[in-house]
Amino acid sequence: MSSPLLKHDVSFYFFALIALFPVMAVAAQPVAMPGPFPQSELVSTSVIDSQGHLVLFSPVREVNNEIRSEVKARLPVSGESRLYEVTKDSNRAKARDFYISELQAAGATILYECSGVNCGRSNVWANQIFGQRVLYGRDTDQDYLVAGTIASDGSRWLTVVYTVTRGNLREYVWVEHLKVAAGAAIPGLGDSGSRVLGPVIVPWQGGVTYRFDWSATDRRRISDWAASEGAVVVLAGFSSLDADETLEQAMTRANKAATSLSEVLAKTGVAREQQKLVIVGPTVIFTDPERQGNRVEITVVKR
């Protein structure tokens, strides 16, 4: 008799084990710099041409004068940055909405976004990340996003938008628009020809009930991918092997966690009929520090 842990289609096992790269919406042409927010004034423009430009995909903090971020990349890029001051008859929230709309119209997908203290300290963003003292403002009054686009010619682009309110109530927008050199690995952004999107890594805790550590951006991304006709959502359940448990017990924990997350997805509109569960437990080891311990890795396979 086969184990209940293997009752799901094992052909999907391999999708859960390889390093998969997501595909974003394809733009009709190489991506142009987003236009200026109408209620803003251009302060400065600068060229960016670097073999190791720092782009962050998670909150930032500074420890012993060293920038720490769980997901970051130093990328070979060429592009430009622009600094705008928002006019007094508008505000940075409207500016941020404007840029999100512009990016979506260009076929971009938001890879990471944060607001307020969840982004980290404004001082670090202003001085350590962007090198613009004028961007130093209130930690509670800042927003950051990075969006990715793959153009029809295969080129890959990142757009960074940071907004902040200073202590004197002046508001600023910082925009970076970057073409990333071919071959560079971009967290969350892969090759345009891929049919496999993800993985989105969701750490979990619990036993009887489960708590999943994933962001609104992650949830929205999975829902968007799953909306594609014929898309299959694969949940690969992983677990650590505790010192006092058997392999079967670890596999059971992974199965229960993945099943629980499957129920959560079903409640958010991802039908159970679309889902496939693969229980891996502690049997596969990755060197990537993000892919360790108790987690469910979600990939979406397009038709």
Domain with CATH 3.30.1330.60 in the chain: 4-22+194-301
d(CA 209, CA 256): 9
Q: How far is residue 157 from each of residues 27, 79, 103, 256, 295, measured CA to CA in Å?
A: 10, 9, 11, 39, 30
User: Which one is the CATH code of 4-22+194-301: 3.40.50.620, 3.40.50.720, 3.30.1330.60, 3.30.565.10?
Assistant: 3.30.1330.60
Are 81 and 48 a contacting pair, CB within 8 Å? yes
**Mean residue pLDDT across the chain:** 85
pTM over 0.75: no
- The tens digit of pLDDT for each residue in 158-217 reads 999 999 999 999 999 999 999 998 878 888 775 444 577 778 889 999 988 999 998 887
DSSP alpha helices (H): ranges in 78-151? 92-105, 122-123
State the average pLDDT over residues 59-87: 87
CA 53 to chain centre: 18
Task: Find, among 217, 191, 146, the residue nearest to 21 by Cα.
Answer: 191
pLDDT exceeds cutoff 90 at 139: yes
Phi, psi values for residue 118, rounded to 5°: -65, -15
Least confident of 108-117, 149-158, 178-187, 212-221: 149-158
State the average pLDDT over residues 74-79: 92
pLDDT exceeds cutoff 60 at 87: yes
Exposure b/e, 108-122, CB count within 10 A at least 16 = b: bbbbbbbeeeebbbb
Phi, psi values for residue 36, rounded to 5°: -70, 145
